[in-house]
Amino acid sequence: MASTHPLPSHPGLPANPKRSRTSQSNLPSSNSNVARSPNFRMPPIPHHEMKEIVKESLNKEIARLASLNASQKAATESVTRAAERSRHELEMSLLELYAAGERRKAAAAQVEEARAGTLGVGGRDDDQSAQVSDSL
């Protein structure tokens, strides 16, 4: 539903808004002389200083975040230590597993030599038994 009431006139607006911009630029207006004047200057922009209220709220927020950070560090410290302890135990278990595998290979070779009756005969077998005892 379109309004049929005429719009109030404004000194900076053209009387007929349906006219093109090029035809509007030819219209004399009260502001056109001011805008084209080389002596027209904008007022200086004042320096902005932060208000004390803003500074206080930011300082409170910084203090709150610092205390939150400290509490989170304290809460996660035990979890971090437990994870490091678990990783260390895993590494030690892997070392023990590899050592047990090597001991099993040496024991299997000694069992075969014992079945053949050659265990402990000659210098070669004595060296292997010494190596196995060193790895224990």
Domain boundaries, given as residue ranges, for the chain: 51-135
For residue range 80-104, what is the model confidence (pLDDT) as tens digits? 999 999 999 999 999 999 999 999 9
Q: Say how far residue 27 (Cα) sits from the centre of its chain.
A: 59
Structure tokens at 71: 């509490």
Q: Are 119 and 110 in contact (CB under 8 A)?
A: yes
Give which of 132, 88, 93 is closest to 110, Cα–Cα.
132
Predicted model pTM: 0.38
Query: Which tens digit of pLDDT belongs to each residue from 25-76?
Result: 555 555 555 555 568 788 899 888 877 777 888 999 999 999 999 999 999 9
Q: Record the tokens describing residue 124, joined without a space.
A: 């070669």
Tell me how far apart the alpha carbons of residues 48 and 119 are, in angstroms, rounded to a whole number. Answer: 94
Task: Give residue 117's identity as a one-letter amino acid code.
Answer: G
Per residue in 112-125, pLDDT (tens digit) is: 999 988 888 775 54
